[in-house]
Amino acid sequence: MPSGPISVDTHLADILAQVRPLSAYPQPLLEAVGLPVAEDVLSPRSVPIFDNSAMDGYAVRYADVASATTDSPVSLPVTGDIHAGAPSAHPLSPGTSMRIMTGAPVPMGADSVVPVEWTDAGVTQVQVRRAPTLGEHVRPIGDDVTKGDVLVRAGDMLDPRRIGLLASVGIDQVVVPPRPRVVVMSTGAELVEPGRALHPGAIFESNSFLLTAAVRATGAVAYRARSTSDDPAAFLEALEDQLVRADLVITSGGVSKGTRDVVKMALRSEPAMQFRQVAMQPGKPQGFGFVGSDRTPLFALPGNPVSTYVSFEVFVAPALRRLIGRSPVSRPLFRARLTEAVQSAPGKRQYLRGQFIADQDGTRVTPVGGAGSHLLAGLGAANALIVLREDRSDVPAGESVPVMLLDREF
Ligand code: AMP
Ligand code: MG
């Protein structure tokens, strides 16, 4: 029985319900950047690990220098030098000082540090001209992190700041999922690799470049396969070859209603593949399912470049985030004021290319590029998708609309 198009939300929910996260395992810290940790990470120790100096100066007993002023400096013998990485061999005796560098261990017996700027910088004897407060310029044990503190929680993304934090407590490995390996395949007898000569009727193959770059921008690994012709057997053979290195496959083209819709012809009879019409513009024909003995998820995206890209952002990128256990999986929607009126097809969710600007006057978005889903120049000029819900048709200038920002992984 023919059924009507299905909503974007339903299609996405169906996909997410079937995609299982990859198993996490311990990986070196720098391999984990941009991945979510699979479990809470507790600090194995307190940091600072020992009391250390926050300044270059002199380690002292507060009681010895409490009265120091410019007019009435306190003079103390200097009994040694303490450098970072080299603790003092002896404790500080009352009535003496030791020269100390930033990060060096504060010796036993000292409780405060006088910055060199508050002294005459003496080498064997120092004149202290200003008193610190008790404990001043000493970075005490555990000031930063206490042993057992939760440093990052399960699901937190490992950004450079968190990587630095983990390293600072001595952690060198962290449990994260592997980066999904994604194979990108394009189909079409008309496609020629950029850099090659065009023959009559040929166009340059661009989708696999766009998709490969988009996959990498999510932090996943992408392999770009050469495009295949419109022969289903050749496509299936190429797919079979690629499956060994794929946690997920993306194809573009060959899923609509033409007479040579190769992906659809090749995969239509696969029991775990579904080809659907989704109530969206662009991107109506969508295929999703599982192929091969490992049940590898496969997205069969429409061939028009803008449709392919929008489909990637709306369906594939969320699935990639699910594979690594991220939540939420979809880009957040921000709001921006429309600078021009736009139209949206009623009953469909519309994704318009837009230029988003945030400045002192607030946020606004200007539609760029025409309606055609072959118009890559508009896509190149866009940094956002304007998202118009199914119940919208004419949207006036000045209205605040939801936008998806495309520039970086959130
Ligand atoms: P299809 O869905 O295969 O009928 O393709 C729809 C439109 O997108 C056609 O104009 C194709 O030439 C174009 N197209 C399909 N695949 C690609 C590709 N990989 N690169 C650039 N354009 C493509
Ligand atoms: Mg085609």
CB-side neighbour CA atoms (13 Å) of 400: 5
pLDDT (mean) for 103-125: 98
Name the closest-CA residue to atom 5, ligand 1: 303
Cα pseudo-dihedral 24, 317, 337, 278, rounded to 10: -140
Residue 176 has pLDDT above 50, yes or no: yes
How many other CB atoms are there within 10 angstroms of residue 371's CB atom? Answer: 16
Residue 1 pLDDT grade (very low, low, confident, very high; cuts 50, 70, 90):
very low
Q: Cis link prior to 2 (omega < 30° from 0)?
A: no
Q: Distance between CA 22 and CA 274 in Å, rounded? A: 23
Q: How long, in residues, is the chain?
A: 410
Digit-coded pLDDT (tens) for 315-332: 999 999 999 999 999 999
**74, two tokens:** 């306190």
For ligand 1, which residues put their CB under 6 angstroms from it? Answer: 186, 188, 190-191, 203, 205-208, 252-256, 258, 302-305
pLDDT at 235 exceeding the cut of 60 = yes
239-262 pLDDT, tens digit each: 999 999 999 999 999 999 888 899
β-strand 384-388 against 150-152: which pairing, if any?
unpaired
CATH 3.40.980.10 residue ranges for the chain: 8-23+178-323
The class (CATH top level) of 8-23+178-323 is alpha beta
User: If pLDDT is split at 50, 70 and 90, which confidence band does 408 have?
Assistant: confident
What is the average pLDDT value for the chain, to the nearest integer?
96
What is the tens place of the pLDDT at every residue in 182-212?
A: 999 999 999 999 999 999 999 999 999 999 9
Domain spanning 25-47+143-176 has what CATH number? Answer: 3.90.105.10
The answer to whether the pTM exceeds 0.85 is yes
> If pLDDT is split at 50, 70 and 90, which confidence band does 126 have?
very high
Distance, in Å, from the CA atom of 400 to the CA atom of 363, rounded to the nearest integer, reads: 9
Ligand 1 pocket test target in 185, 191, 209, 257 with most atoms within 8 Å of CB? 191
| Predicted local confidence at residue 4, as pLDDT | 85
Please list the residue range(s) of the chain that carry CATH number 2.40.340.10.
333-405
CB 234 within 8 A of CB 169: no
Given a cut of 80, is residue 3 above it in pLDDT? no
CATH of domain 52-139: 2.170.190.11
Structure confidence at residue 369 as a pLDDT band (50, 70, 90): confident
Segment 96-118 shows an average pLDDT of 98
Q: In the CATH hierarchy, which fold is given to the domain comprising 333-405?
A: Beta-clip (2.40.340)
